[in-house]
Each structure stands twice: as structure tokens, then as C-alpha cells.
Amino acid sequence: MVDGSTLPIRMLHDRLLVKADGDGGERRSGGGIVIPATAAMGKRLAWAEVVSVGQHVRQVQLGDRVLYDPEDRAEVELQSHTYILLRERDLHAVAAQRVDDGSTGLYL
């Protein structure tokens, strides 16, 4: 995990800086079949790890995995790494290990 305090940027308002999981290339199905990146698919959401948050972000913390729409994103390069800038309201779900009530770990 990248510590948000080591990045040369401070997020404002309800903004999040996330690092996307994977490279968006080919994938494997549950049965092991390779699905090429060029395969026509419906709208597919993506997972990312939160590396920095603005002061008005209420539901997300550093290190959380979030679900977002990769078509609605802005990319920025910092220290030779590509990150994605999102608004908290643009997230679809958060998968967090810190959920204490023993439920699925997903909440909206």
C-alpha cells in the first residue's frame, strides 16, 4: 500500500486518489479461460485501492478497495505511477476489512 502522506499531493474536498488493480488487459474466467482485452463486454466496473483522501470524504479510508466505473475517471501521474482521481459520490461500493459487524464487508 502507498502511504498518502508520501505523495506530493494533498487531496481536497470529497476527492480520492486511487491506484487501479491490474492493468485492464486480458483476464481469466473462473474456469481458466483467457478472455482477451478486446472482447466485447457490457459495462464493467473496476476495483482500486485508495491511496489518498480529501478532508470531506466520509465513507472511505486509506487502504480501502473501492468499486468505480473506469469510463468516468481522470488519470494523473505522480512519481512515475499512474493514479486515478475520483469523487466519493462516484464510487459504487467499498470492500473493507475494517467492517466489524461480520457482514459481507461490502457497503454502499
Query: For each of the chain's 108 residues, which pLDDT tens digit applies?
Result: 444 557 777 888 888 999 987 655 556 667 777 767 666 565 778 889 999 999 998 888 888 999 998 887 788 888 888 899 999 999 988 886 655 555 555 555
3-class secondary-structure state, position 86 = strand
CATH number at residue 97: 2.30.33.40
- Give the neighbor-by-neighbor strand order of the sheet with 106-107: 74-78, 81-87, 15-20, 46-53, 65-68, 93-95, 106-107
pTM for this entry: 0.68
Domain span at 35: 4-107
Number of domain units in the chain: 1
pLDDT at 2: 47
